[in-house]
Structure 1
Amino acid sequence: MEAREDGHHDYVDRLRAQWGERIPGLDTSPAEVVARVLRIGALVGHAHDRALDEEGLTRGEFELLAALRRADHPLRAREITTVTESPGASITKRLDRLERAGLVERTVPERDRRGVLVALTAAGIALVDRLFPEQVAREAAAVSALSVDERDQLGALLGVVLRTLDPVAY
């Protein structure tokens, strides 16, 4: 295994060394970025999941609540499906549970019966407004070893990769 500039090795360094032993000559250099992004995502995701579990929420449920909060107006279920990129059946289950918990409410508009509108309740707004800053703080802690300039540069570079894979403009 090549020594890193700082002399430290991480999960990806070990993974690449192991593959180098099993399949010599295979270029695993994309793992320098991709495997690290996946590993960081998993670790941060687990931290988010633990915090949400303490509140009795799943990540999918919180993403739904957060989507409604960002929209700041009621959304149709199909709009929530589009925004969260979750299957319709999952959205229905989440809405049922969140409605029972008093965090969302569904209404059928009098003039437009094409679909149910979903809105956050006051309790739902309060919950998102309390939990989202905690999520941001966990993410800030994850990148705290980077300077502001390094974080900006990394974010810009990852944006290039993301647009390559997901060219849909949101």
Structure 2
Amino acid sequence: MPAPQTANEQDHADRLLEQWRQVRPELDCSPMAFFGRLSRMALLAEREIVAVIKQHGLTAGEFDVLAALRKNATPLTPTELYQSTLLTSGAMTARLDKLEQRGLITRQHSQKDRRSMIVQLTPEGMSLVDTTVDAHVANEQQLITPLTTEEQQLLTGLMRRWLLAHE
């Protein structure tokens, strides 16, 4: 993609690269454009995503737990939940305590192993997570509207390839 012609077409990364070109013209700083844009996009998107989740009375972490429960066909153990959300056991317990106090989940002893607990959504939790997911998806769709469907698919494929090489 060619460099922007006017200052109105320049983003943060373009201005950063221009500053480096001024002081280190021999250095190829093009990777900075990639990672700078990636970081800035993540920051801006996260701010928008968290705002929508907050409108539904949830934190991003609470939403992650409710969504993990919703997208599984069976109840999960706290261990399965903290592994799927990349939390520590203690952090998951604190989240589950809050969600249970709000009446959004229940914890019960497992029928298979009384030492283990299972976590499931209450009807209120199911309704809240469904409403929040609907708003979340609509928000994400709005966030990607500057790109055509083809551009979205291309970018998604490129990101997948990069992640597969680095995860």
Query: Match of 2:41, as an amino acid?
Result: I
Equivalence map 1:59-70=2 (5 Å): 59-70=60-71
Change (3 A) 1:124 1:142: same
Equivalence map 1:92-103=2 (5 Å): 92-103=93-104
- Aligned CA RMSD, in angstroms, stands at 2.0
State percent identity of aligned pairs. Answer: 35
Q: Could you tell me how far 1:55 is from its partner in structure 2?
A: 2.7
1:4 matched residue in structure 2:
4
2:53 matched residue in structure 1:
52
Q: Could you tell me how far 1:42 is from its partner in structure 2?
A: 1.3
Q: Work out whether 1:83 is the aligned partner of 2:84.
A: yes
1:122 matched residue in structure 2:
123
Write out per-residue CA displacement over residues 111-158 of structure 1, whole angstroms, 9 at most, x where no aligned residue: 412321110111111111111121111111121122211111111011
* Cα contact 1:44–1:138 (8 A) shared by 2: no
Q: Work out whether 1:147 is the aligned partner of 2:148.
A: yes
Write out per-residue CA displacement over residues 57-105 of structure 1, whole angstroms, 9 at most, x where no aligned residue: 1111101110110113210111011111122221111111111111111
1:18 matched residue in structure 2:
19
Equivalence map 1:30-45=2 (5 Å): 30-45=31-46
Bigger RCO of structures 1 and 2 (CA < 8 A, at least 6 apart) = 2
Q: Relative to structure 2, which stretch is displaced further, 23-32 or 131-140?
A: 23-32
Give the alignment's TM-score, normalised by structure 1.
0.87
Change (3 A) 1:101 1:154: same
Change (3 A) 1:87 1:19: farther
1:164 matched residue in structure 2:
165
Separation (CA, whole Å) in 2 of partners of 1:16 and 1:147: 26
* Cα contact 2:75–2:118 (8 A) shared by 1: yes
Query: Match of 1:137, as an amino acid?
Result: A
Q: Relative to structure 2, which stretch is displaced further, 9-18 or 40-49?
A: 9-18
Return 5+ residue gaps in structure 2 as ranges: none
Q: Could you tell me how far 1:50 is from its partner in structure 2?
A: 1.5
1:135 matched residue in structure 2:
136
Return 5+ residue gaps in structure 1 as ranges: none
Query: Match of 2:4, as an amino acid?
Result: R
Change (3 A) 1:162 1:45: same
Separation (CA, whole Å) in 1 of partners of 2:40 and 2:146: 17
